[in-house]
């Protein structure tokens, strides 16, 4: 019995281009008057507001 291979269904192309669908983006953390960079943390993506989906115009 031959098996027909079906292509996997493509995910909807509405993933946010900024966070790539994760809903989070890496932000640089700065402290002090000199704004010394102390590292990065994940923050809410402001493009999709954390939903991971591209905003519909
Ligand atoms: Zn996003």
How many domains does one find in the chain? 1
- Pick from 8, 43, 40, 10: which is nearest to 25 by CA? 43
Q: How far is the CA of 39 from the centre of ligand 1 (A)?
A: 21
pLDDT grade, residue 25 (50/70/90)?
very high
Give residue 25's Cα distance to chain centre.
6
Region of poorest pLDDT, from 5-9, 24-28, 40-44: 5-9
Instruction: Compute, in angstroms, the gap from residue 27 CA to the centroid of ligand 1.
Output: 13
| CA gap 16, 19 in Å, rounded | 6
Full-model pTM: 0.55
42 near 15, Cβ under 8 Å?
no
50 is a domain residue: yes
Residues near ligand 1 ion, CB 5 Å cutoff: 16, 18-19, 45, 47-48
**DSSP-derived pairing of the beta strands 24-31 and 36-44:** antiparallel
Q: What percent of the chain has pLDDT over 90?
A: 54
Residue at 57 is within a domain: yes
Cα(15) to centroid of ligand 1, in Å?
Answer: 8
Print the domain residue range for 21: 14-31+39-57
More confident residue, 57 or 50: 50
Q: What pLDDT is recorded for position 11?
A: 56
């Amino acid at each position: 019995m031959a098996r027909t291979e079906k292509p996997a269904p493509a995910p909807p192309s509405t993933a946010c281009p900024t966070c790539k669908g994760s809903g989070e983006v890496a932000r640089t953390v700065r402290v002090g008057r000199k704004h010394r960079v102390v590292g990065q943390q994940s923050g809410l993506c402001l493009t999709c507001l954390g939903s991971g989906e591209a905003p519909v115009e």
